[in-house]
Chains A and B, each alone.
Chain A
Amino acid sequence: MITGPGKLNTAAAVTYHHARIGTQPADCWLNIGVAGHKTIPVGEARLINKITDKQSNATWYPQIIFKHNVSCAALITLDKPSATYQSSLFDMEASAFYQMAIRLGTAEMIHCLKVISDNASQTMSSVNASDVKQMITAQLETINDLVENLRTFSHELALINAEPEHYQTIIEQWHFTQSERRQLFRLLRQWTTRFSDQEVLSTIDRHKTAQAIIRTLEDQMKNTDFVIHD
């Protein structure tokens, strides 16, 4: 999604994206854009490890838990364009992106990759939209690597957060209260861990009530020897 410049556009885009596709905590969020810096050559990319919002002085630290080939840097998000180049990267979007995305996602899955568009010797007055497109395109390999890394974690996180097998089928077929659903959820997870070769549905299919199902699962768990090691 192309957000357009500035914090407001970015925050709105993150919220819209979430509402539109119903993002999950396991999803990755990646903000790709341009930034200025005093000395880093134009066209180079940086993965952001610290974001400071200049206006509020709030700070966030993206959690980079994967191996990567791109250098990292701190970044300051400004409200207005600036030609005062500093030793930090600066942009106009990252703080808003991160602040919104962290409410919807998981810290390790939210990242910003910035390509240097201007510096003290090649100022932003010489940069146009076509240049930006070219700079970003030149970093496609880096972007793909980043996405691949995040995809692995996203998959792992999705598995961790997944409902246990047959959970939906069971709550659709029998009436469970909210509290019983929580019990069932936990019992099905334990069942999968302990009796991976046993079909749970055939164990409970003659039961008439949620309570009877919960009792059966609990009894089976209680009456079977528990071995923690292989």
Chain B
Amino acid sequence: MISTIYIEEEIAEHPRSRAILERFPDAEIIACERYGEIFNRKSQNFRLQKKKPALILAKKHKGLVLSTPKQYGIGAEHNYYFSHMLNCLYDCRYCFLQGMFQSAHYVLFVNYEDFIDEMQSVLNQHNNDPVHFFSGYDCDSLALEPVTHFTTTFLPFFEKNPQSLLELRTKSTQTRSLLKREPIKNCVIAFSFTPDKIATALEHKAPPVEKRLQAIIDLQNAGWTIGLRFDPLIYTRDYIEEYSTLFNTLFSKLNPDLVHSVSLGGFRLPKDYYRKLEKLYPDEKLFSSPLIEENNSIGYPADIRNDMLTFCKNIILQHVPLEKFYPCHETI
């Protein structure tokens, strides 16, 4: 699956780097000074590179843990996000990463312990207040778990710090490492969904809805708390039917008591990212959706957006209480 690995000289001997290199004995190994020499170079084509992404092993020096935008959160006052990886195994056509990054390569920051130290500082800063940490903004939290062993390293930290909460945002069914251990209360495995037909059209290489659902059921049965994320909501003529089917399927099979939170938000992208995506995929139907530009963002016009959000909210609230419902406040 991975045939080229770039590795920063500084972390070439890091035990995590060595273990990953051993896992890919046939990969071409290329030394580099800083991952940005490869990842941030202009003139790269994300779409072409996505056909054969390389893995870049790097060290994250700054900005290991960052505050989330104000409108994001699932119940705490203090919210932070962190990315042990950049880019994703999947190829979802609506994903902002394609607009944000020059490269489709996967960057893995192997200095997990520095992330954990930074999280400890954040916790200290907030005394004993609840603090939420979100993983999965710039990558899928679990998709490369067999390679990264991300949860194996990070979960013990959260286990020791019950005032904190970790959200693992994912579409992946790579849940083996979670199922092998005892669940912890302050970790939410948050699965993203779009209706089956929309997922088939837009979420390339991602596990089908049915498999994601099975992964959730297995996690719930093992005692893990899960989250449901309907963000982005995607408009199509028969969205009422499609989303009704999705909600009915999910809520008929899940244990609502083990659903920590449900969030939703309409499809929207910063204008610059959207324009880049449009150029990369001119033949993509999503970009001929009824979209408008407002406040430097591209998204659905207010009537479509509000209709969709209201419709989905009403169904969701039939299944989960209001205090578990977190609509993302739209920026447009």
- Interface residue? B255 (CB, 8 A): no
Given the known interface contacts A74-B30, A102-B43, the answer about A228 and B48 at a Cβ–Cβ threshold of 8 Å is no
A107: contacting residue among B45, B197, B290, CB under 8 A? B45
- Interface residue? B8 (CB, 8 A): no
* B152 partner residues in chain A, CB cutoff 8 A: none
Binds A, one of B71-79, B82-90, B234-242, B318-326: B234-242
Q: How near does chain A come to B331, taking the closest CB pair, in angstroms?
A: 22
* A74 partner residues in chain B, CB cutoff 8 A: 30-31
CB–CB A226/B237 < 8 A: yes
- Interface residue? B38 (CB, 8 A): yes
Expressed in whole angstroms, the Cα–Cα distance for A102 and B43 within the complex equals 7
- The total of chain B residues at the interface (CB under 8 A) is 41
Expressed in whole angstroms, the Cα–Cα distance for A24 and B236 within the complex equals 36
Among B32, B234, B285, max chain A CB count under 10 A is at B285
Q: How near does chain A come to B37, taking the closest CB pair, in angstroms?
A: 6
Is chain A's binding surface mostly helix, strand, loop or mixed?
A: mixed
Expressed in whole angstroms, the Cα–Cα distance for A59 and B285 within the complex equals 39
List residues of B (186-211) whose CB comes within 8 Å of A's CBs: 197-198, 200-202
Binds A, one of B137-145, B172-180, B256-264, B276-284: B276-284
List residues of A (29-45) whose CB comes within 8 Å of B's CBs: none
- Interface residue? A80 (CB, 8 A): no
CB–CB B45/A157 < 8 A: yes
B282: contacting residue among A108, A160, A225, A226, CB under 8 A? A160
CB–CB A226/B43 < 8 A: no
Smallest Cβ-Cβ distance to B290: which chain A residue: A226
- Write the B8-44 contact mask toward A (1 if CB under 8 angstroms, else 0): 0000000000000000000010111100011001011
CB–CB B236/A229 < 8 A: yes
Expressed in whole angstroms, the Cα–Cα distance for A189 and B47 within the complex equals 18
* A72 partner residues in chain B, CB cutoff 8 A: 28
CB–CB B43/A225 < 8 A: no
B290: contacting residue among A49, A102, A222, CB under 8 A? A222
- Interface residue? B51 (CB, 8 A): yes
B284: contacting residue among A60, A65, A193, A226, CB under 8 A? A193
Q: How near does chain A come to B227, taking the closest CB pair, in angstroms?
A: 25
CB–CB A61/B38 < 8 A: yes
- Interface residue? B249 (CB, 8 A): no
CB–CB A228/B43 < 8 A: no
CB–CB B44/A194 < 8 A: no
Given the known interface contacts A49-B28, A193-B284, the answer about A227 and B44 at a Cβ–Cβ threshold of 8 Å is no
- Write the A199-230 contact mask toward B (1 if CB under 8 angstroms, else 0): 00000000000000000000001100111111
Expressed in whole angstroms, the Cα–Cα distance for A226 and B289 within the complex equals 7
CB–CB A226/B235 < 8 A: yes
Smallest Cβ-Cβ distance to A163: which chain B residue: B282
- Interface residue? A50 (CB, 8 A): yes
A108: contacting residue among B6, B48, B198, B235, CB under 8 A? B48
* A222 partner residues in chain B, CB cutoff 8 A: 290
Smallest Cβ-Cβ distance to B197: which chain A residue: A229
Q: How near does chain A come to B189, taking the closest CB pair, in angstroms?
A: 27
- Interface residue? B52 (CB, 8 A): yes
- Interface residue? B286 (CB, 8 A): yes
Expressed in whole angstroms, the Cα–Cα distance for A190 and B281 within the complex equals 11
A227: contacting residue among B49, B202, B238, CB under 8 A? B238
Given the known interface contacts A61-B38, A193-B284, the answer about A106 and B45 at a Cβ–Cβ threshold of 8 Å is yes
CB–CB A194/B288 < 8 A: yes
Q: How near does chain B come to A37, taking the closest CB pair, in angstroms?
A: 17
CB–CB B30/A228 < 8 A: no
* A108 partner residues in chain B, CB cutoff 8 A: 44-45, 48-49
- Interface residue? B247 (CB, 8 A): no
- Interface residue? A153 (CB, 8 A): yes
Given the known interface contacts A107-B44, A229-B197, the answer about A193 and B28 at a Cβ–Cβ threshold of 8 Å is no
* A59-B33, A228-B234 known, 8 other contacts, Cβ within 8 Å: A49-B4, A106-B45, A153-B48, A157-B45, A191-B288, A225-B237, A227-B237, A228-B201
Identify the B interface with A (CB < 8 A): 4, 6, 28, 30-33, 37-38, 41, 43-45, 47-49, 51-52, 197-198, 200-202, 234-238, 278-290
What 10 pairs across the A-B complex have the smallest Cβ distances? A190-B288, A229-B197, A228-B236, A225-B237, A65-B52, A229-B201, A107-B44, A108-B48, A193-B288, A107-B43
Identify the A interface with B (CB < 8 A): 49-50, 59-61, 63-66, 72, 74, 102-103, 105-108, 153, 156-157, 160, 164, 186, 189-194, 221-222, 225-230
**What are 12 residue pairs bridging A and B, where the CB atoms are less than 8 Å apart in the complex?**
A64-B52, A66-B52, A74-B31, A102-B41, A160-B279, A160-B281, A186-B278, A194-B285, A228-B197, A228-B198, A229-B197, A229-B236
